[in-house]
Amino acid sequence: MEKKRNSLEEDIKKNALKFLEISKDKEILIISHFDTDGISSATIIIKSLKKLDKKFSVKIIKSLDEQFIQELPKDKIIIFLDLASGSLHHIQNSNLKNVFIIDHHEISEEIPEDINIINPELNKKEKISASVLTYLFCKELDQSNKEYAKIAILGMIGDSLEDKINELNDKISNNGDIQKIRGPLIYPSTRPLNRTLEYSSNPYLPGITGNIKGVLELLREIGLNPEEGKYKSLIELNEEEMEKLIATIILKYPKSKEDIIGDIFLLKISNRLEDARELSAMINACSKFGESGTAIQTCMGIAQAKKKAEAIHVRYKQLILSGIKYAENSEKIIGKGFVIINAKEEIKDTMAGTITSILSHSRLYEEGTIITILAHSEDKTKISCRVVGKNGRNVREILNNIITVIGGETGGHYNAAGATISQDKEEEFLKILKKNLEIEVIKIQ
């Protein structure tokens, strides 16, 4: 990694050409992460490979471990999407011959010569999702794949990178299928405002989220009344109504101004405008409930799948609200600059990351606070770690240092990371984490 690297664009072109060259007579196995970014990435590559008439299969997974990698077929081309940057040594030891990785997570190991990798961490560390990287890769395979730009944007939003979309205008071919308006980042912007506010979890609005009385008081304060028994949606508000709503929200939550107001992206899927954040959350919900097939089909715009996804999303939102309430009222390990919640079975392991992210954006905690939630999954413990705000310590590094000692799997980013450990290591993990966080506080003071 010391040697001079190509630009991201050069890496994408080089890998696309190599893939076209070696995939002529080989079967392909796509392995992608189960969140919205991974699902969006998988959808883009599925559509692209179908155009090329390639033979392929797909696996959607929660995380990579050594055993899974060792059992992968040696005679297929393996494409990892939105994962594997933290598993390079396992891949190297598995004797896989044709491996492509399209990912954006941090790399903490030397890259073996025979692994083909696209990752902005090797270039200018550009904040870009795996879905956009996959889109750019597929566009090199066939320029007609530029029609999948809207799916790439869906992945960006799924990874909370919407504030970086404007910087990618020269990379993503925007067209009539993508629209944006300025307003409060509550979603869905296409549904009645009273329901949207009541179920708003990201951003979480204290006194409004999950509180219909608080919602109706806010709407009365703005002067918004139902018409024929139904409230307008966010995108149906006129300029004056939108300004009143924004002003009232900022007045109630002044610290959240930067997080609450921004660009709302609308994507045309099957000739209907969809709120990208709602669609992203819907796809994410499907995967969290083990319905990754439904998630991919929804991303593809299949109406029957979307209907099923909507029902799953309703259940998911209810679990989020109960998870937030548990996290707010539960016993916590609290220190200067950190909060640890051991939820055990009280929060579903696949939702721990979502709840931690919501709390980190809620402004309930000071800038730089590290929030960690532990949740059980059979004999494993899932750990999700987030930093409140934009400034703080490297939580991936903190987790990685602990996992190196006690064993397990880890991955993620500077301010949002996760790990999986054996449940019998839980107490040891908590002890080391608490000690490390307290030491870090002393160091930076």
Q: What is the pLDDT of residues 285-334, one digit of tens each?
A: 998 889 999 999 999 989 999 999 999 998 988 888 889 889 988 999 99
Sheet holding 380-387, edge to edge: 333-335, 338-344, 370-377, 380-387, 416-422, 409-412
* pLDDT tens per residue across span 8-25: 999 999 999 999 999 988
Edge-to-edge strands, sheet with 261-269: 178-184, 261-269, 272-275
Q: Is the same domain home to 114 and 29?
A: yes
198 and 264 together in one domain: yes
Residues 424 and 404 in one domain: yes
Q: Is 136 a domain residue?
A: yes
Query: Are 111 and 117 a contacting pair, CB within 8 Å?
Result: yes
Residue 72: predicted pLDDT: 95
Predicted local confidence at residue 179, as pLDDT? 85
Q: Which range of residues forms the domain containing residue 74? A: 8-147
Picking from 324, 359, 385, the residue at the C-terminal end of a domain is: 324
Question: Of 268, 300, 324, which residue is a domain's last?
Answer: 324
User: How far apart are alpha carbons 284 and 221 in whole angstroms?
Assistant: 34
- Would you say the C-alpha torsion 99, 100, 102, 103 has a positive or negative sign? positive
14-41 burial by CB neighbour count: b if 16+ within 10 A, else e? ebbeebeeebeeeebbbbbbbbbbbbbb
Q: Could you tell me if 51 and 68 are in contact, meaning their C-beta atoms sit under 8 angstroms apart?
A: no
| Residue 337 shares a structural domain with residue 418 | yes
Same domain, yes or no: 376 and 309 = no
* Beta carbons within 8 Å of 410's beta carbon, 6+ residues apart: 86, 396, 399, 400, 403, 417, 418, 419, 420
Output the pLDDT for position 1. Answer: 42
The reported pLDDT for the residue numbered 176 is: 58
pLDDT of residue 350: 83
Q: Can you give the three-state secondary structure of the chain, one letter per residue?
A: CCCCCCCHHHHHHHHHHHHHHHCCCCCEEEEEECCHHHHHHHHHHHHHHHHCCCCEEEEEECCCCHHHHHCCCCCCEEEEECCCCCCHHHHHHCCCCCEEEECCCCCCCCCCCCEEEECHHHCCCCCCCHHHHHHHHHHHHCHHHHHHHHHHHHHHHHCCCHHHHHHHCCCCCCCCCEEEEEEECCCCCCCEHHHHHHCCECCECCCCCCCHHHHHHHHHHHCCCCECCECCEHHHCCHHHHHHHHHHHHHHCHHHHHHHEEEEEEEEECCEEEEHHHHHHHHHHHHHCCCHHHHHHHHCCCHHHHHHHHHHHHHHHHHHHHHHHHHHHCCCEEECCEEEEEEECCCCHHHHHHHHHHHHCCCCCCCCCEEEEEEEECCEEEEEEEECCCCCCCHHHHHHHHHHHHCCEEEECCCEEEEEEEHHHHHHHHHHHHHHHHHHHHHHC
Rounded to whole angstroms, how far apart are CA atoms 319 and 111?
40
Q: Which residues of the chain have pLDDT under 50?
A: 1-2, 442-445
One domain, residues 234 and 277? yes
Looking at the 3D structure of the chain, how many domains does it have?
3
Let me know the angle formed at the C-alpha of 239 by 275 and 178, rounded to the nearest 5 degrees.
30
Residues 24 and 85 in one domain: yes
Note whether 222 and 352 are same-domain residues: no
End-to-end Cα distance, the chain: 33
CA–CA separation, 138 vs 144, rounded Å?
Answer: 9
- Which tokens belong to 240? 């004056």
Distance CA 183, CA 343 (A): 35
Task: Compute CA distances 128 → 8, 56, 247, whole Å.
Answer: 11, 26, 31
Per-residue pLDDT at 169: 67
Does 169 fall in a domain? no
Does 288 lie in the same domain as 319? yes
Q: How far apart are CA 429 and CA 434, in angstroms?
A: 8
Assigned domain for 376 exists: yes
**CA 74, CA 97: separation in Å to the nearest integer?**
7
Q: Point out the domain boundary residue: 301, 324, 347.
A: 324
CATH for 104: 3.90.1640.30
Q: Is 403 contained in some domain? A: yes
Tell whether 211 and 248 lie within a shared domain. Answer: yes
Same domain, yes or no, for 103 and 187? no
- Residues 385 and 317 reside in one and the same domain: no
